[in-house]
Structure 1
Amino acid sequence: MQKAFLFDLNGTMIDDMEYHIRAWHSILNGLGAHLTYEETKLQCYGKNHELLERTFPGRFTLAEKDAMSVEKEKQYQQAFGPHLKLIDGLDVLMNEAKQANIPMAIGSAAIMFNIDFVLDGLDLRSYISAVVSADDVTISKPHPETFLKCAEKLGVAPADCIVFEDSPKGVEAAAAAGMKAVVITTMHEEHEFAVYNNIIGFIKDYSSLSLSSL
């Protein structure tokens, strides 16, 4: 039995990545990026500020990036709010983990404005013992800092953590941290993870998972 579960948030606990991509697609193209939906999807990893810098190198000040980041999250929350729910079966798995005293953390490139939106909207604070957000790391995924800080906060060795992720960049971060990963295929297909050897399983949702299977 692993000693801790580390969850990415968007696309992993809630099936919301389409709403993030739509929001960024609108904002980036409004700024002159001329990106397709698929091109925007490929950029949707890491911190908001990093995404803006990748798309428009050196164009915006930190204050401008802060403002655009919040505006993007407001658009996302307004669109996704009516659909906010955990991915099927995750509530059962989290209840089982809590009963078994397995600590759980969220390690996400999201800002706390968005993490609070989910934690409070779904009443999850009693399950989550630690949170590492975009504001808590110097370098976001695929760098391992996010997941290593989760393990540190929980007081668990990295090798004793299972990471739940939906993106190749997230699985790469888990591998760099020395952690196994379960991949949920909400936005990416299995073949996109072929280069990673730390994956212990692929799932469409959590209904097929139990503590004994992990």
Structure 2
Amino acid sequence: MQPISFKPKAFLFDLNGTMINDMDYHSKAWHHIINNDLGRELSFDEVNKEMYGKNAELLERVFGKNHFSESQIAEISMEKERRYQDAYGPYLSLIDGLDVFLKKGKEAGIKMAIGSAAIPFNIDFVLDGLNIRPYFDAIVSADDVAISKPNAETFLKGATALGVHPSECLVFEDVPKGVQSAKNAEMKSIVITSTHNEGDFNDFDNILGFIADYNNPILNLLF
């Protein structure tokens, strides 16, 4: 972990597990569809291990390449997201302190973007459901990249959209593959410990700190 003396010009946020604590709802929706709708028998823990990247990539890992047509993947994906939104919608909320942190970032003139493997349907669900779209100058979704994290493409496209050099960006992430994506983009990262503990990130040298939520006072050092 590096000392925080870094003054970023841009914040790049992952979405699920980083801005909202919703990963359990995604896992439950996938578990039900994979087992009840699609006939596989995976435990909840086994489903959790596949919870990264695009929906199409997840289906390919579980069922094999070319098992579903593109139209079938799109239909399965949307059904999964509808079930997720129906279950999580009543509890939709930002991780504690993020509302204030976004305001401080905006007031400080820091550019902000979302870089997520979520589809626009889910990103819109969060941004419009919580009325936070005005804070973000760019959005990079699953539809905008060829390869998901840990490939650097998501965050590099975010930096380009903001007009900021990658070295001047700070990534907020909750999973090792996201931190690896930031490292591959030559960006520093702060980890939100909503889905993983600190020990899961021992192999990374681009982490400035670990926070449980956005009330952590180390974030004041960024401004």
* Letter of the structure 2 residue corresponding to residue 2 of structure 1: P
Matches for 1:39-188 after TM superposition, within 5 Å: 39-57=46-64, 58-188=66-196
> Quick one: which of 178, 192, 197 aligns to 1:189?
197
- Give, in angstroms, the shift of residue 32 of structure 1: 2.5
- Give, in angstroms, the shift of residue 209 of structure 1: 4.0
Q: Report sequence identity in percent.
A: 58
Alignment length (residue pairs): 214
> Quick one: which of 2, 8, 27 aligns to 2:8?
2
What is residue 14 of structure 1 aligned with on the other side? 20
* Letter of the structure 1 residue corresponding to residue 26 of structure 2: H
Structure 1 residues 211 and 202: alpha-carbon distance in aligned structure 2, compared to 1, 3 A threshold: closer
- Give, in angstroms, the shift of residue 175 of structure 1: 0.4
* Letter of the structure 1 residue corresponding to residue 42 of structure 2: L
- Give, in angstroms, the shift of residue 212 of structure 1: 3.4
* Letter of the structure 2 residue corresponding to residue 34 of structure 1: E
Q: Which runs of 5+ in 1 are unaligned?
A: none
Tell me the TM-score normalized by structure 1.
Answer: 0.98
What is residue 32 of structure 2 aligned with on the other side? 26
Is the Cα–Cα contact under 8 Å of residues 110 and 134 in structure 1 kept in the other structure? yes
> Quick one: which of 40, 43, 47 aligns to 1:36?
43
Distance 1:75 1:149 in 2: 30
* Letter of the structure 2 residue corresponding to residue 55 of structure 1: V
1:203 aligned onto 2:189: no
- Give, in angstroms, the shift of residue 46 of structure 1: 0.3
Is the Cα–Cα contact under 8 Å of residues 163 and 174 in structure 1 kept in the other structure? yes
What is residue 3 of structure 2 aligned with on the other side? none
* Letter of the structure 2 residue corresponding to residue 73 of structure 1: E
- Give, in angstroms, the shift of residue 210 of structure 1: 6.0
Distance 1:54 1:138 in 2: 16
Distance 1:158 1:74 in 2: 34
Report the secondary structure of 2:210's partner residue. Answer: strand
Is the Cα–Cα contact under 8 Å of residues 96 and 211 in structure 1 kept in the other structure? no
- Give, in angstroms, the shift of residue 125 of structure 1: 1.3
Per-residue CA deviations over 1:19-62 (Å, capped at 9, x if unaligned) read: 00000111111212211111111101000010001111121000
Distance 1:123 1:210 in 2: 26
- Give, in angstroms, the shift of residue 211 of structure 1: 5.2
